[in-house]
Copies of this chain bind each other. A is one copy, B any other.
Amino acid sequence: MNTILPRSGTAFMLRKGERLKITDIKGEQVSDFTCFNLDDTKEYLSSGRTIDYAETIFLTKGHPFYSNRSNIMFNIIEDTVGRHDFLLTPCSADTFRIIYGDENPHRGCFGNLCEALEPFGIDPDSIPICFNVFMNVAVDGETGKISVLPPKSKEGDYIIIEAAMDLIVGMTACSAEMSNNYSFKPIGYSILKNETAE
Interface residues of A (CB under 8 A from B): 42-44, 46-49, 51-53, 55-58, 68-70, 87-89, 92, 94-95, 98-99, 123, 125, 128-129, 138-141, 143-147
Q: Taking CB as reference atom, which chain B residue is nearest A83?
A: B144
Distance, CA A58 to CA B142, complexed state (A) = 10
Chain B residues contacting A51 (CB-CB under 8 Å) are: 87-88, 146
As for how many copies of this chain the complex holds, the number is 2
B56 contacts A143, C-beta separation under 8 Å:
yes
Interface centre among A48, A88, A94, A123 (most CB of B within 10 A): A48
Partner of A89, one of B48, B89, B144: B48
Distance, CA A153 to CA B196, complexed state (A) = 51
